[in-house]
Amino acid sequence: EAGVVQSPRYKIIEKKQPVAFWCNPISGHNTLYWYRQNLGQGPELLIRYENEEAVDDSQLPKDRFSAERLKGVDSTLKIQPAELGDSAVYLCASSLRGLAGGINTGELFFGEGSRLTVL
Amino acid sequence: SQQGEEDPQALSIQEGENATMNCSYKTSINNLQWYRQNSGRGLVHLILIRSNEREKHSGRLRVTLDTSKKSSSLLITASRAADTASYFCATDGGYGNKLVFGAGTILRVKS
């Protein structure tokens, strides 16, 4: 079974430029997460989708970050314009997390991440 | 914001020794999970312990949970060089709540 696939693995851009990251979750996983991980820190949630719906985007800096999950499968995370402080690893994860009354396995499956460097 | 706090921040041991990492958290949880991250890679789920469980084993891993103290520990027995990685605890407050990660413990196992 294929795992969570992310691209690109590395991206170097000048500040004020746009950048986009793509994620393909594990087939059948209804919940998708974007996390940001700064150097030496744990991942911090940016946005969580259940199917197509963004159910938690409270930590997403909406002035410059946007995300979408069309058809409830693949997802893209965009930053426009990028700032120096956006340099980090952007991790995508998926899980089979149930809706109310449903099954919640709890475990997250992560991709390898996209390392962004803003110069 | 990160709920879990791991202790120690870094740990260096010899191959064959046991490694113990601790995690403290602040609010009530549905479950607590431990993940491993090798350098430059994504996180890999190791073990999940539910709030009504006190201890769980998986291979060389032993996890304990004390909800009265809001703390958990991860023990890796007979460590190997391949165990060198960062280890994160993550707390799950249940449906509708997000999984919150701590800052991690960096484990180095010397051969």
pLDDT, one tens digit per residue, over A29-54 is 989 999 999 999 999 999 999 889 99
Tokens of B12: 């260096």
Percent of chain B with pLDDT over 90: 82
A53 close contact with B: CB closer than 8 A: no
Q: How far is CA B40 from the centre of its chain?
A: 19
Would you give the DSSP letter of residue A9?
S
Token pair 């930590």: residue: A59
B46 close contact with A: CB closer than 8 A: no
Q: How far apart are CA A21 and CA A90, in angstroms?
A: 8
Q: Say if the Cβ atoms of A107 and B42 lie within 8 Å.
A: no
Q: Which residue of B has its CA nearest to A42?
A: B103
Best probe of the A interface among B101, B105, B106, by most A CBs < 10 A, is B101
Please give, rounded to a whole number of angstroms, the shortest distance from the CA of A40 to a CA of chain B: 7
pLDDT the model gives residue A102? 45
- Using 50 as the pLDDT threshold, list the residues of chain A that sit under it: 99-103
Q: Where are the beta strands (DSSP E) in B1-111?
A: 5-7, 10-14, 19-24, 31-37, 43-50, 55-58, 61-66, 71-76, 85-92, 99-101, 105-110
What single-letter amino acid sits at B3?
A: Q
What does the mean pLDDT of chain B come to?
93
A56 close contact with B: CB closer than 8 A: yes
Q: Do B5 and B100 meet the contact criterion of CB atoms below 8 Å apart? A: no
Tokens of A63: 């002035």
Q: How far apart are CA A106 and CA B48, in angstroms?
A: 8
Instruction: Using pLDDT thresholds of 50, 70 and 90, give the confidence band for residue B2.
Output: low
Chain B residues touching residue A115 (CB < 8 angstroms): 40
Nearest to A43 among B40, B48, B101 (CB): B101
Chain A residues touching residue B95 (CB < 8 angstroms): 97-98, 100, 104
